[in-house]
Structure 1
């Protein structure tokens, strides 16, 4: 009888310990729209990597139905939801559904990893300072950078490379960027960046020349994308760990990303990137 009592007390204690461990972890929601490659890297880091015991991937929300990301999340036993903007009459209603999910799962931090919709203002306000976004190129807050509406995936890398080709910068580079989410695309404060050197170009060219001979730019874009992806994974994982430890970083550029007088080149580079990667 006494043995049964001891076992019962031990069982209760074990359950309490597990609950405490879970409560001490940073509960995160992962927002995706596609294949979920970064999402999967985060989940693996939480289960057996540098985020184990610190971060709990509690829920995955996808803006698209039946994508690979949802399938991957289910494989790891993560609760999933599909929340599509087109299913709601207003942006506010779309946001209320997201807020409802985050509230139901006691979410501490939201991480956008390949999330394409503009996050509604009511969500941004409700979770101010608690929503981060992964971006595959250099940003500069509210100043001009390689972000904005329609700038995602290969388009970002392509625009950056085109800009570098035209301006003829020495020691060319691109970046993986993690930043806070604001009410406008890619204008939130920067948190952490990781640079990647890109090949030095022989001489400056014009946007017209790049458009005429676009195949090399397309091939280089795909190559740099492959090199940048693992850096993106490590970057967002490092940021999540910092949040879990209560010490999130911040990054401020010492000078504008786009020098005065080169804003038009930036716009033309973005336009070309959207043409080459429709």
Structure 2
């Protein structure tokens, strides 16, 4: 008897390019997951149209309609659970989640951040990398924990910073890596190969000594 595909709810606030990468992987047969719903806190998020075009339930849960962060997160948790989600994927969801929500989905919530964590947590990472004169930049997929952008890192995509780079040019190259590594990590989870044990990332039954780091142009692992 074949197990049912993992049910995944994706949270977005904007364009949904990482959502599209997941949809493309699903359609190509390389992501054995049921992308069962997309939820946005903004009605004008372009990613909602991407979801509908892909046959995925698309919902709006406007945070402005709730009196507090906790009230909103309670409603959000109820929406996620109504879809029977085994995994929650943050794909440009521009809200800080309450500790209670994060702990409820601990080990079942992933985020992608545009830096090589633990460097440059928070916003404006591309500009900050350029201002610091760094030679490398990238993105990180991590399990979500209450501390902002501080959960255990699973995989990273790295790019070289080029002379004359602008923040926009750098962001575009980093986004290419985001679209490669996020479907990979979600696939690992969907296949039952990835888990969080305490603060340790377990892949294929073994603790990861360090996050997987892929450089631009390197092939994806199995």
Aligned mates of 1:25, 1:95 — CA distance in 2: 26
Cα RMSD for the two superposed structures: 1.8
Indicate yes or no: 2:160 matched with 1:160: no
SS in 2 for 1:24: coil
- 2:188 matched residue in structure 1: 242
Distance 1:67 1:104 in 2: 22
2:121 maps to what in 1?
147
Q: In structure 2, do the counterparts of structure 1 residues 251 and 86 end up closer, same or farther at CA, with 3 Å as the change threshold?
A: farther
Structure 1 unaligned residues grouped into runs of 5+: 1-19, 202-215, 254-278
Q: Is the 8 A contact 1:118 1:184 kept in 2?
A: no
User: Normalising by structure 1, what TM-score?
Assistant: 0.67
Structure with bigger helix share is: 1
Q: 1:109 to 1:195 in 2, by over 3 A?
A: same
What stretches of structure 2 of length at least 5 have no aligned partner? 195-202, 212-222
Match of 1:37 in 2: 17
Given candidates 139, 143, 147, the residue that maps to 1:180 is 143
Q: Secondary structure at the match of 2:157?
A: strand
Question: How many residues were matched structurally?
Answer: 199
Counterpart secondary structure, 2:145: coil
The CA distance in 2 between the partners of 1:235 and 1:134, in whole Å, is 9
Q: Which has the larger radius of gyration?
A: 1
Please, what TM-score do these two structures have when normalized by structure 2?
A: 0.83
Pick closer, same or farther for the CA change 1:235–1:251 going to 2, 3 Å.
farther
Q: Residues of 1 paired with 2:139 and 2:116: CA distance? A: 7
In 1, the alpha carbon distance for the partners of 2:64 and 2:78 equals: 18
The Cα of 1:99 is off from its aligned counterpart by 1.2
- What's the offset of the Cα at 1:103? 1.3
State the shift of 1:251 in Å: 6.3
**Higher strand proportion:** 2
Q: Which runs of 4+ in 1 moved over 4 A?
A: none
Residues 1:193 and 2:185 are matched in the alignment: no
Q: CA deviation at 1:120?
A: 1.9
